[in-house]
Structure 1
Amino acid sequence: MAGFAQELWESIFTPGTTPTLIVATNVTFACLQLVLLLLLVATYSIHFIILSCLCGGLWWSINWFAAELRIAQAKEAREKARSDQRVAAQASDDSETEVETTLVETGKPASGSTEVEVAEQVGDLKLRAEPSSGSKSSASTEDEWEKVSENENEKDK
């Protein structure tokens, strides 16, 4: 019993759920349900039935959450193991890097790709025209803000 109490105390400061904490939670809820049953028998009050239903729902939801957390942790552990295996497999396949391979094949060091990737143009780009001259806009952002401020001042008058 002393070992369980010590494990329970340490599990409080451990992030996540621990088996000791789950056992303690289940024992506590079982004791609460027993007390509520005894109070129901002693008083015949519907309040204890309602409290018992609320307690049962909370008890179930805590256990459901702990189970979902275990499933998520197991999935995360599997993904981490897979990624570690991929990294180990890539490292063991060839110890040569791409630069070393290029150096061996061509006799000169590779300095990067000489090809240029052309990006596709998305949407139509339109040049703005100034209202007065009809030419390309060379106005700065400050000039445009001044125009907006002037228009707001005229509206206020």
Structure 2
Amino acid sequence: MTQQTTAVHPKVTSDTDDTAAVHPKVQKLVDEIIELNMIQVKQLTEQLKERLGVSDMPMMAAPTMSMPQGVAPFTETKKEEAPKKEEKTEFSLKLEAFEAAKKIQVIKEVRALAGLGLKEAKELVEGVPKVLKTGVSKEEGEKMRDKLKELGATVVLE
């Protein structure tokens, strides 16, 4: 014996009938919303609040006669969140000073690190303080800084 299963579809009704079954369009939206991850749900909520002009005011539940005495009504409260510091992902490497005796080695290293010609690297080193390179990752910037510090340069990762 095989059993046949049939999908239960909500009854199709007019848009104005509040007491009837769920409208297929609404059911489809509910099904799509259920598939969202938490970030998408948060984005959806923010967009709906913005479009509908809804504020984040907490809703107060009115106490009812059936509520046991001594039990406070549930109220939605928004927790104060500490402002999140965005972690910097791109840095600038700034040459601030160098030892005069090691000027040539510093110029050579700056030339290699920044991909400059000899003349440009010399002008950059002689015009300290100057930014050598921008948009570098923290790891890459630290490696460059360490190489230049070994040569007697003062370098800052900003």
Q: Same fold (TM over 0.5)?
A: no
In the superposition, the TM-score normalised over structure 1's length comes to 0.25
In the superposition, the TM-score normalised over structure 2's length comes to 0.25
When Rg is computed on C-alpha atoms for both structures, the one with the higher figure is: 1
User: Which one has the bigger strand percentage?
Assistant: 2
Larger RCO: 1 or 2 (CA < 8 Å, sep 6+): 2
User: Which one has the bigger helix percentage?
Assistant: 1
